[in-house]
Each structure stands twice: as structure tokens, then as C-alpha cells.
Amino acid sequence: MDQPNSYPGETAATLVTVPRILGLDVGDRRVGVAVSDERGSTALPVLTLVRSNRRQDLRSLARILRKYTCAEIVVGNPLYMSGDLSPQAIKAQAFAEMLRQEFGLPVSLWDERLTTTLAHRLLHLSGRAGSEHKMVVDQVAAVLILQSFLDARANNIARASSSGFSNQE
């Protein structure tokens, strides 16, 4: 029997699941949250967390980590276009370190230059405006950050696999 969200012809016996990854777009007032799918190939929006205080933010993230059984976290790193650290990047790096210490999971910082701009553009093109736009833009940015991370990881694995095969010829 096919699984919900399965590909044609994919059965429970062929479904390959990997630990999920939590993707975060961290801001001063809100945190956009996304998770990877069961295959580790697609980023999915979850919610926008309105920040209150450190303890409550960590409690909310802990619930999300448990609900989706995430084994890794990716935090957007908003560098300047030059690659230098921005004030927000320093805050994101401190947030990432706090997550490492609190949850004991691997936490990666991922270059998120222009993701919020792209998120705004995508929402504008989709016709979302006003308060609806404001509440989902951080989720869209989190999806873009996580999807970029997943794509890069898949490309690195594919590159390593293909180079391994060519060495055996």
C-alpha cells in the first residue's frame, strides 16, 4: 500500500526516511520555522514563532523538535553581501550556539543573503499582502534557507558518489 506523500510505485518497504532537519530564520521579533520532509529532500513551512523571551522561545522550539523528531538544526546566517558579519549575523550565531548548548544537536549556520528579499518577492508575486504577508514571510525565508542547505548537501553527496565510482573504473 502506498504511503501518504509517497512517490508513484513507492511502498513502505522502499520508503527511505532520514532524520528531519529544522530550519530557522531568526529575527529580533519573529523566527520563521521550516522542517525537512521524511526523505530529507524538501523544506516545508511550519510556523512563525513570535519571540517573547529566551525561556519561552526555547520551550517552543523544543516542542517543534520533538513533534517532528528533528536531529539537526540549520540557522540562517545573514552576512553582508561582502561576506562580512552583520550585527544580525552576530545575533544569529549567538542564537545557534544557544541551541547547541540547550539541545545537544548539530547546528549549522547557513548563508542566507537575499533570502528575505526573495521571500518578499515570492509572496508579492503570489498575491499575499498586508498582515498575511508579514506573518508568513519569515516561514518562507526559513524554507528558502533550509532548501538551499538540503540542495547543497544532496549535491555534495552526489558529487562524492560520482567521484567514487569514477575512481573504481
| 46-91: pLDDT as tens digits | 999 999 999 999 999 999 999 999 999 999 999 888 989 999 999 9
* pLDDT for 71: 97
* pLDDT for 2: 42
C-alpha cell at 29: 521579533
* pLDDT for 8: 55
* pLDDT for 21: 98
* pLDDT for 121: 78
* pLDDT for 59: 98
- Sketch the domain layout of the chain as residue ranges: 20-159
Q: CATH classification of 20-159, choosing from 3.40.50.620, 3.30.420.140, 3.90.1150.10, 3.40.50.12780?
A: 3.30.420.140
The DSSP bridge partners found for residue 44 are: 35
Tell me how far apart the alpha carbons of residues 34 and 68 are, in angstroms, rounded to a whole number. Answer: 10
**Amino acid at position 92, single letter:** A
Q: Rounded to the nearest 5°, which phi and psi values hold at 8?
A: -55, 130
* pLDDT for 17: 81
Q: Which residues of the chain, if any, have pLDDT below 50?
A: 1-5, 166-169
